[in-house]
Amino acid sequence: MNILELKDLSKVYDNNITVLDKINLSIKKGELIAIIGPSGSGKSTLLNILGLVDSQTTGAYYIKGQNVSTLIKSKPHLLRNRLFGFIFQYFALLNQYTVLENIMLPLTYRKSSHKERLERSLFYLNKVGLSEHKNKKINKLSGGQQQRVAIARALVTEPDIILADEPTGNLDQKTGQDIMDLLLEIHNLGKTIIIVTHDYNIARQCERVIEIVDGKISRDNFQLLSSQ
């Protein structure tokens, strides 16, 4: 069964610029996907639509077989919080909060006790190997550590799908590979992960590579050459 499906989906901005042009895409549960393509090709826009951060102009988007327009109704943020975990290139963490507080933030919408939210946050903080840093402010951490916090924050709601927009783009090569290794571990637990990346070394480690050029899928499920 497809967990996500796009049918003839397009995104056109008010100035009549077409960013996505009749995208047809099916994603199965448990896939590890890299989306590549030149800057401005529509990769991040596609990821934002998948994550319900943005919406299409035309076409249809289905989650687990149900049309998104009938699912989201008036509270898309609740559906987004339940289904998706987000990882960004620049971490999107709040410097005024501690590591633990940042991880707990996505649980704000959950009808659970503070104790339950705390225990779950500590569990995922331990998963990314940063338990000893729980009370530190974000700006006291290295870039790699901050991205690990962002991954713990993405996992804490226990979403079906992880969406990562250039998760290694702001890191050196070694630290970036450490983050990719962590994402591979998460994938091996059964998570669906979709990564937008310019780094072909990261893309080669994914099971499926999709290339977007000028708002269209130019290639899908192809093999990247080692020279690329």
Tally helices (H) and strands (E) across the chain: 8, 10
Mean pLDDT in residue range 30-54: 95
Measured CA distances, 149 to 11, 29, 35 (Å): 32, 25, 23
Rounded percentage of the chain residues whose pLDDT exceeds 90: 79
Mean pLDDT of 10-19: 91
Report whether pLDDT(226) > 90.
no
Helix (H, G, I), strand (E, B) or coil at 85: strand
Question: Closest Cα partner for 202 from 68, 102, 89?
Answer: 89
Residue 221 has pLDDT above 90, yes or no: no
Q: State the burial class of residue 2 (Cβ atoms within 10 Å of its Cβ: 0-12, 13-18, 19+).
A: middle
Q: 86 and 163 in contact (C-beta within 8 Å)?
A: yes
Q: What is the pTM of this model?
A: 0.92
Residues 4, 26: Cα–Cα separation, whole Å: 6
Mean pLDDT of 40-66: 94
Q: How far apart are CA 145 and CA 71, in angstroms?
A: 36
Checking if the pLDDT of 70 tops 90, the result is no
Backbone angles phi, psi at 132, to 5 degrees: -75, -10
The 8-class DSSP code of residue 206 comes to S
pLDDT tens for 164-194 read 999 999 899 999 999 999 999 999 999 999 9
| Nearest one of 112, 89, 108, 7 to 49, comparing CA atoms | 7
Nearest CA-CA partner of 7 in 63, 45, 53, 52: 63
Rounded to a whole number of angstroms, the distance between the first and last alpha carbons of the chain is 32
Q: Residue 109: is its pLDDT beyond 80?
A: no
Q: Over range 195-215, report the average pLDDT.
A: 95
Across the chain, mean pLDDT equals: 92
Angle at 157 between CA 204 and CA 69, to 5 degrees: 85
Q: Which residues pair with 10 in a beta bridge?
A: 58
Please give the average per-residue pLDDT across 76-96, as a whole number. 87
* Predicted pLDDT of residue 155: 94
Q: Which domains does the chain have, with CATH numbers?
A: 32-56+74-220 (3.40.50.300)
pLDDT per residue as tens digits for the range 128-157? 999 999 999 999 999 999 999 999 999 999
Pairwise pLDDT comparison (224 vs 187), residue with the higher score: 187
- For 189, 200, 212, 217, 220, the CA distances from 36, given in Å and listed in that order, are 24, 8, 6, 10, 10
pLDDT of 76:
73
Q: Which tokens in the block code for residue 175? A: 């630290």
pLDDT, position 227: 60
pLDDT of residue 146: 94
Distance CA 195, CA 180 (A): 10
Is 90 exceeded by the pLDDT of residue 63? Answer: yes
Residue 203 near residue 225 (C-beta atoms within 8 A): no
Indicate the DSSP class of residue 202. Answer: H
